[in-house]
Amino acid sequence: MGFILFAGRLLFASLFILSAYQLYHEYGTDGGPAVKVLEPKLDVFTKLIASKAGIQIPEIDTKHVVAAVIVLKGFGGVGFIFGSYAGAILLVLHQLVFTPILYDFYNYDVEDAEFGQLFTKFTQNMALLGALLYFIGMKHSISLRQQRKKIGLLIPQSCAYTIQKPNTPRRRLHLRPHQTPTSPLRLKNWGEEKKCHYFHTPSFCCRDRFLLC
Residue 151 φ/ψ, nearest 5 degrees: -65, -40
- C-beta of residue 101 within 8 angstroms of C-beta of residue 41: yes
The count of C-alpha atoms lying within 13 angstroms of the C-alpha of 102, restricted to the half-sphere facing its C-beta, is: 19
Q: Are residues 27 and 7 in the same domain?
A: yes
Domain boundary among 152, 179, 194: 152
- C-beta of residue 16 within 8 angstroms of C-beta of residue 76: yes
User: Residue 192 carries which DSSP code?
Assistant: E
How many structural domains comprise the chain?
Answer: 2
Structural domain boundaries enclosing 88: 2-152
Measured between alpha carbons, how far is residue 109 from residues 45, 115, 121, 130, 146 in Å?
A: 16, 7, 16, 27, 51
Helices (H), the chain: 2-27, 33-53, 62-81, 85-102, 113-154
User: pLDDT 10s per residue in the chain (213 long)?
Assistant: 788 999 999 999 999 999 999 999 999 888 888 998 898 889 888 888 888 887 888 888 889 999 999 999 999 999 999 999 999 999 999 999 999 999 999 888 888 888 999 999 999 999 999 999 999 999 888 888 887 776 655 544 444 444 444 555 555 445 454 444 444 444 444 333 344 433 333 334 443 333 333
pLDDT at 56: 80
What is the rounded distance in angstroms from the CA atom of residue 160 to the CA atom of residue 174?
A: 4
Q: Are residues 14 and 59 in the same domain?
A: yes
Could you report the per-residue pLDDT of 13-22, keeping only the tens digit for each?
A: 999 999 999 9
CB within 8 Å of 40: residues ≥ 6 apart: none
Q: Are residues 69 and 108 in the same domain?
A: yes
Q: Are residues 136 and 34 in the same domain?
A: yes
pTM given for the model: 0.68
Domain boundary among 132, 152, 172: 152
Could you report the per-residue pLDDT of 161-178, keeping only the tens digit for each?
A: 444 445 555 554 454 544
What is the rounded distance in angstroms from the CA atom of residue 100 to the CA atom of residue 118?
A: 10
